[in-house]
Amino acid sequence: MEEITRSLVIGVGGAGGVLATRMAGTFEQANYLAMDSDAKALARLGRIPTFPIGARVTGGHGAKRSMDLGRLALRSSLKDVQSACRGHESVLLLAGLAGGTGSGATLELADELLRMGTPVGVVGVRPFDFEGEKARMNSEHALEQLSIMGLPKVVLGLNETLDLETSKGSLFDGMTNLEERAVHKAMEMLRDLRAATPRTW
């Protein structure tokens, strides 16, 4: 029987990678990975292992706002992704839901983990209103699909953390507060996933 190790936290997309990196500095009882179709975004992270996806379909330049391209990026790297996830007792996905990778690749990865029989949860972040209609539609579609899958999820809204009429300094404070909340919720969900997962050792 394959040995089961501890949980895996995957930051999907640019925002997800930032959240996973921050969580890694707070919660050590997990393995971490940042997964993105944007090679430059991955190179900026540094602290945790990185995993580029979809180089053949995005050229390493990201999926922009295309959910379809984000899904395709994940599918094109599927065998490597399966290998990275296999053997963990549960997987937690962290993602900003505005972009193509954060929304599309998260859905594709969650679906694949379910097929693998791996317990999975998602902590997602909705976009600011000013990020535009495409970002809003990506987020809403991703949340709808995650609900259909029946996955445990926590969703945080950027607009809930700050007043959009405030100064740039307050915007920075609001983003910092959002990251702290997301990491706290992620740690709670990871513990819940572990508690619900039968152990084999």
**Domain annotation covers residue 114:** yes
Nearest of 96, 105, 84, 107 to residue 31 by alpha carbon:
84
Q: Is residue 153 part of a domain?
A: yes
Task: Please indicate, yes or no, if residue 2 is contained in any of the structural domains.
Answer: no
Which of the four pLDDT bands, split at 50, 70 and 90, describes residue 85?
A: very high
| C-alpha distances out from residue 96 to 12, 79, 100, 155, 197, Å | 8, 24, 10, 10, 26
Instruction: Give the residue among 106, 184, 88, 182 at the shortest CA–CA distance from 149.
Output: 106
Query: Which residue range is the domain that position 141 belongs to?
Result: 8-196
Does residue 61 surpass a pLDDT of 50?
yes
Question: Residue 123: its pLDDT value, please?
Answer: 94
| Residue 72 belongs to domain with CATH number | 3.40.50.1440
Residue range 175-184, pLDDT digits in tens: 677 788 888 8
pLDDT digits (tens, 9 = 90+) for 18-54: 999 999 998 888 999 999 999 999 999 988 999 999 9
Q: According to the model, what pLDDT value does residue 143 have?
A: 94
**Is position 1 within any domain?**
no
61 part of a folded domain:
yes
Bridge partners of 9, per DSSP, are 32, 92
The total of structural domains in the chain comes to: 1
d(CA 108, CA 24): 24
